[in-house]
Amino acid sequence: MASKAAAATAGCVTWRVFSPPCSFSTLNIRQCGSKLATQPHKTPKRSPFRPAASSTHDWIGPPNPLSNLRPIVYHVPGNESELEKRLRHLRQETEDWNHDFWTRQNISYSKEKDAFIFSSLKAKGLTVRDEHGRRRALDSEEMAVFYKSFLETNRLRHADYNKEWYRRNFTITLLMARVALKNMWRTVTERHSSKKNSSPTNDNK
Neighbours of 28 (CB within 10 A): 11
Q: Give the per-residue pLDDT at 3.
A: 40
- Domains held by the chain: number: 1
Q: Is residue 174 part of a domain?
A: yes
Q: Is residue 45 part of a domain?
A: no
Q: Looking at 42-46, 66-70, 75-79, 180-184, which range is the least confident one?
A: 42-46
Q: Is residue 20 part of a domain?
A: yes
Question: What's the pTM?
Answer: 0.67
Report, as an integer, the average pLDDT of 102-113.
Answer: 94
For residue 132, what are the domain limits?
Answer: 5-39+56-192
Q: Is residue 61 part of a domain?
A: yes
Q: Looking at 14-23, 32-41, 138-147, which range is the least confident one?
A: 14-23
Q: Is residue 30 part of a domain?
A: yes
Q: What is the DSSP string of 49-63?
A: ----TT--S-EE-PP
Using CA atoms, how far apart are residues 28 and 22, in angstroms rounded to an integer?
6
| pLDDT above 90: percentage of residues in the chain | 45
Report, as an integer, the average pLDDT of 168-187.
Answer: 92
Task: Give the model confidence (pLDDT) of 133-143 as tens digits.
Answer: 899 999 999 99
Q: Is residue 48 part of a domain?
A: no
- Non-local CB neighbours of 181 within 8 Å, separated by 6+ positions: none
Mean pLDDT, the chain, whole residue set: 77
Q: Is residue 167 part of a domain?
A: yes
Report, as an integer, the average pLDDT of 14-39.
Answer: 43
Q: Is residue 152 part of a domain?
A: yes
